[in-house]
Structure 1
Amino acid sequence: MLTKYQQFFTGRPTIKIAQDLLGKMVKYHGPAGTVGGYIVEVEAYLGEGDSASHAFNGRRTGYSESLYGQPGNIYLYQIRGHYCFDIVVQDEEEPQGILLRGMEPAINVAEMTKNRQMTGVNISNGPGKLVQALGIHSRKLDGQPMETSALTVDLENYRVPQEVVTTARIGVNLQGENGLSPNRFFVKGNPYVSNMRKRDMDLDHHGWKD
């Protein structure tokens, strides 16, 4: 039987789960203490029928095996030299996932700044940057349930976006059947959204409701 935590990540459309993750806090309890921030940008990947998914057409390898696990598990993989972090959603053997693309730092920002050797939005305005900012440099956490892992998402304490923007995903094959599917969601105006233009940033409220 699924726990209450796991139930958040299944039983409804992946795009709905993805939108509901905006404003939740991702945390990593690492060697340097706890770091974390609010999720501001995500992308949904819809499994074997999604041309942008690692499981497209039933592709299944040892590397992507975690994508077939329980809802709420971690799928941590490396692409173009960077580590990225998906949350597994839907029931076991249904390989759908949500990529965390952007995070607004909130816990131990100094440590994340040190991890990235960057300041400002460049700390975590992209999927590889986000994982590096947290201090994760390997696939050791791959396949673990977030509920009991050092890498987790706090579903109880969160902020509420004023508005959620929907667009096509970034960095996928645009020629693929689902290349332009509207499966990317972000907090409108938040400076830590990847590729956010300065003129579109809400520098006063970062796109959150008060």
Structure 2
Amino acid sequence: MTPPNPTPNHYTLLNVKPTASPQEIRRAYRDMSKLYHPDTTTLPPAIATEKFKYLNDAYATLSNPEKRTAYDYSIGISRVAVVQVPTYLNRPASERGKYPKDNAYLDPNDRPLSPGELFALFILGLTFVGCLLLVVTVGWSKGELVLYSPDDSTAESITLPAPETTSPPVSIEQSPAVDPSSTSPRPLPPMELSPKII
């Protein structure tokens, strides 16, 4: 038979769980120190001093992260995060459905975007749209943005007056040979399509 441990576990001495945060440990220490401080307790001075000493030792160990990790290791408490089974799996399959209804869109470890992150995404989208509008505007103003009608039958025919020439007409036999495949027809700029007023 093992003898009882004269000093209880630091966590039970402070009445906190092993997963308690530093703030919870500090709050529990303040509450317990009011009970066991030799000046404020109703216990006999010898017992109060001994209990207060254990309380100070427990707080000194648990308030220091390195000492707390070593202490947890010595008593067999793991500080490694363990994968937790989702709570909705505890219900029967007929009750829970295909997906959990309370967090259908977010993983339990995800968090929603903060207002600052939403604002940054809004500014990013606005900048992207502004850049697209700038490219289209500059292309249109430089004349590099040409929009052709998909149907050539809608184009109006424009008749231009024949230019007056003083040179003699050239016959087809005298003209230099031109390979029709070497040159491709190019569309005339809008200025050349309009008739000239004399």
TM-score normalised to structure 2 length = 0.18
Greater CA radius of gyration, 1 or 2? Answer: 2
TM-score normalised to structure 1 length = 0.18
Which has the larger share of helix? 2
Which has the larger share of strand? 1
Higher relative contact order (CA 8 A, sep 6+): 1
